[in-house]
Amino acid sequence: MKQQKKVIIIGAGLAGMSVGSYLQMNGFQTEIFESYSMSGGLCASWKRKDYNIDGCIHFMEGLSPAEVYYDFWNNIIDMKSIDFVFFDSHSVVDDKDGNRIHFYSDIDQLENEFLTKAPEDRKQIKKFIALVRKFNKVKLPIKKPFEVMTVADKLKVAYHMFPYLRSMRKYLKITNREFAEKLQNPTLKYAIETAFVGHMPLFYSIMPLVWRNKKDTGYPKGGAALISSMMEKSYKELGGIIHFDSKVKKILVENDRTRGIELENGKVHRCDKVVNAADGRTAIYDLLGGKYKDKNIIERYESDVFETIDKTLYIALGLNRDFSDMPRKIHFYIDKPIVIDKMTTMTHLEVTHYCDDPHAAPEGKSLLALMPEAKDWEYWQNLRLNDKSKYNKEKNRVAKDVIEALETKFGNIKEYVEMIDVATPATYIRYTNNWTGGQISWKATRKTFGKPTTWQIKGLKDFYMTGQWAGTSGGLINVVMMGNHLTQIICKNEGIKFTDRVQKK
C-alpha cells in the first residue's frame, strides 16, 4: 500500500495506540509522543514489594467473539492468547445489618436473588429483569461512526434499533437512584444505590448486566500491564513509532491548519495531521492556547452540561492472607465514617481482591484494592505541591482508617498487611496529566446522552481528538473502538477506503 500522510498522535494510552494501529493499517505514517516513560496511560500497573497493582482494570468488555465489540480488540491484539476470568457474580453488597445481595452474572440467578431477598418488590424486579432480558438480544450497531454512515446505513440502524428505542428513552430518563427509591425492601434499595452509580441513567447499568450474562466481560490474567504491552507491541509491529519522555508544549498551527508539534525540549516535529489522545483540556487551552473553541468544546469545558467524574483515591493493600474464598468485590457499610477530605466522607467501602490473577500476589497472599471517593482533588494536588510531608501523612491516615474498617468487617487484617500503596488525584495528574486527577472523564448523565463526539473543532483543520475526553466516560473498549472510528473518519476525509485488517506486503 502506498504510504499516506504523516500523523502525530499525542498520548500513548490505549486511545493513542488504538488510533495509531488503525491508521497504520490504512497506510498512514504515525508517531506517538508520550510524556511518561512507558505506554498505557491510565491503563497501568505498578510493582510494590512482591505485589503487582493493577491501577485500571476491574472488568474488561468485548471478550466474546459472538458480540459486537470483540473485533475492535482482536484486530489489534490476539484475544485468544489471553486467559480471561469470568465471575459468577459481579459483586455483593452487605447492608448495615449484614444482609447480603449478590449481583449474579447469570440473569436467572440475579432474578431469583432479588425475588428471594425482596419479594415485596416483585413488580419492580420483574420490570427490571425484563429490561435486562430484552437488551440481551440486541446487537448494537457500532461498526461505523455516525459521521461516515450513508443514508442506507442510517436507515438500517433505525430499523435495527426501533424495537429498543422506547425502552432506551424511558430508562435514560430514570437514574439509578430514582429507581432505587421506588423499592420497598431496604436491603435491595441499599444494594442498588451502592452497587450502581446514583446519578447515572438506569440504562447504563442495564448494559453491563447484559454483557456479564453473555460472558462478554471478564478479567485478563496479567491485568493492565498485559493489555498495554500487547497494544504497544502490535502498534510497533505495524510500523508505528513511540517517543517516550516527550512532553508536548505546543501544537503548531499555520493558516488554521495543524502542521506539527513543539516539545518542551524545543524540538519541532512536522506532520500533516495531529491527533490528541491525551487530556482534552490541556490540548485545547494549553497546547492550542484556547484559540479554537466551537459550540461542542464550550459545552464540555465552559458550561454545566458536562461534569467531570467524581475523583477517587486508589488504595492497594498486600496481605499475607488468602482472600480467594471471598466474593471478588464486596460493598459494605461502615459504622465509623472515614473522612477523606473536606468534601468527602465515606459511609461505605468497596473492596476488590485479585486472587484469581497469579500475577497480582505471591501464592497464598492477596492483593486488595479500594477506590474511596476524593471529591476535593485540588486539596490533594495542592498538598502534594506545597506540603509533601503532610501529603504523605494524609495518605497514611486514610489508609490506616481503611485498614481499621476492614479489620472490623473481616477480622485478621492489620497483622497481615505487608504492603500499603495510596494513589491520589495528584498522582494521576503527575503521571497522566489528566485534568482534575480523575481516572475517567465525564459523568454519563441524562444531559450528555446523544451529545456528539468531539472528533474535531470547527475552524481548525487536520486536528482530531479521541479518547474519553472526546466522548464520555466508559471502559477500555470504548477508547479502543474510538480509535477505529476516528480512523474511518480520517480515511473518509482523505478519500481512502478503510480497512481494519493488516495489509499483506
Helix, strand, coil % in the chain, rounded to nearest 5: 40, 20, 40
User: Who's near 195: CB < 8 A, 6+ residues apart?
Assistant: 90, 91, 93, 101, 103, 331
C-alpha cell, 230: 500487547
How confident is the model at residue 446, as a pLDDT?
78
Provide the 10 A C-beta neighbour count for residue 139. 11
Predicted confidence band of residue 381 (pLDDT cuts 50, 70, 90): very high
pLDDT of residue 4: 75
pLDDT per residue as tens digits for the range 133-184:
999 988 889 999 999 999 999 999 999 989 988 888 888 888 899 999 999 9
Does position 502 have pLDDT exceeding 80, yes or no?
no
Q: Would you state the pLDDT for residue 170?
A: 87
Distance CA 344, CA 346 (A): 7
Residue 52 lies inside a defined structural domain of this protein = no
Residue 32: inside a domain: yes
Contact between 275 and 24 under an 8 Å Cβ cutoff? The reply is: no
Can you give the pLDDT at residue 503?
61
- Residue pair 223/54 in contact (Cβ under 8 Å)? The answer is yes
Please check whether residue 368 is in contact with residue 353, taking contact to mean a CB–CB distance below 8 angstroms: yes
Q: pLDDT tens digits, residue range 416-452?
A: 999 999 999 999 999 999 999 988 888 877 788 778 8
pLDDT score recorded for residue 439: 82
- Domain end, chosen from 193, 214, 235, is at 214
In a shared domain, residues 431 and 319: yes
Assess whether 234 and 345 both reside in one domain. no
Per the domain annotation, does 61 fall within a domain? no
In a domain, 85, yes or no: no
At residue 192, the pLDDT reads 94
Residue 504: predicted pLDDT: 46
pLDDT of the residue at 2: 53
270, 319: one domain: no
Distances (CA, A) of 88 to 105, 132, 364: 5, 17, 22
Give the SS3 label for residue 449: coil
**Distance (Å, rounded) from C-alpha 396 to C-alpha 420?**
9
Residues 410 and 426 in one domain: yes
What pLDDT was estimated at residue 23?
Answer: 98
| Cα–Cα dist 434/469, whole Å | 10
Residue at 136 is within a domain: yes
First to last CA, the chain: 8
If pLDDT is split at 50, 70 and 90, which confidence band does 233 have?
Answer: very high
| Dihedral Cα 388, 390, 394, 396, nearest 10 deg | 80
- Asked if residue 261 and residue 208 are part of one domain, the reply reads no
Do residues 55 and 265 lie in contact, with contact meaning Cβ atoms separated by under 8 Å? no
What is the structure's pLDDT at 368? 98
Kindly state whether residue 321 falls inside one of the protein's structural domains.
yes
pTM score: 0.94
Give a yes or no: residue 90 inside a domain. no
What domain range is 207 assigned to?
102-214
383 shares a domain with 345: yes
Distance CA 171, CA 127 (A): 11
pLDDT of residue 292: 97
User: In terms of domains, do 209 and 230 share one?
Assistant: no
| Angle, helices 107-117/122-135, rounded to nearest 10 degrees | 170
284 and 333 in one domain? no
The label of the residue with cell 491548519 reads: 257
Indicate the average pLDDT of the chain. Answer: 94
Q: What pLDDT was estimated at residue 152?
A: 95
Between strands 329-341 and 344-353, the pairing is: antiparallel
The C-alpha cell 431477598 sits at: 117
In this prediction, residue 505 carries a pLDDT of 40
C-alpha to C-alpha distance for 333 and 139, rounded to whole angstroms: 37
Rounded to an integer, what distance in angstroms lies between the CA atom of residue 477 and that of residue 183? 33
**Separation CA 493–CA 148 (nearest Å):** 9
Q: Are residues 120 and 146 in the same domain?
A: yes
Task: With a cut of 80, say whether residue 1 has pLDDT above it.
Answer: no
Kindly report the number of other CB atoms within 10 A of residue 288's CB atom.
21
Q: What is the pLDDT of residues 263-299, one digit of tens each?
A: 999 999 999 999 999 999 999 999 999 999 999 999 9
How far apart, in whole angstroms, are the C-alpha atoms of residue 478 and residue 225?
Answer: 18
For position 146, what pLDDT does the model report? 94
Number of structural domains (the chain) is 3
pLDDT tens digits, one per residue of 54-87 = 999 989 999 999 999 999 999 999 999 999 999 9
Among residues 214, 246, 274, the one where a domain terminates is 214
Structure confidence at residue 447 (pLDDT)? 82
**Cell numbers 413488580 label which residue?**
123
The residue from 190, 214, 238 where one domain ends is: 214
pLDDT at res. 248? 98
Q: Based on the fold, state whether residues 165 and 248 are members of the same structural domain.
A: no
pLDDT at 390 over 70: yes
Contact 349, 330 (CB under 8 A): no
Residue range 447-499, pLDDT digits in tens: 887 788 999 999 999 999 999 999 876 789 999 999 999 999 999 999 999 99
Confidence band (pLDDT; 50, 70, 90) for 355?
A: very high
The distance of Cα 3 from the centroid of its chain, to the nearest Å, equals 33
> d(Cα 101, Cα 61) in Å, to the nearest integer?
23
Rg of the chain on CA atoms, in Å: 23
CATH of the domain at 486: 3.50.50.60
pLDDT of 200 strictly over 90? no
* Domain presence at residue 65: no
Q: Specify whether 384 is located in the same domain as 453.
A: no
Count CB atoms within 10 A of the CB of residue 325.
7
**Residue 326 and residue 394 in one domain:** yes
pLDDT of 369 over the 50 cut: yes
Q: Which helix (H) or strand (E) holds 17?
A: helix 14-25
Percent of the chain exceeding pLDDT 90 equals 84
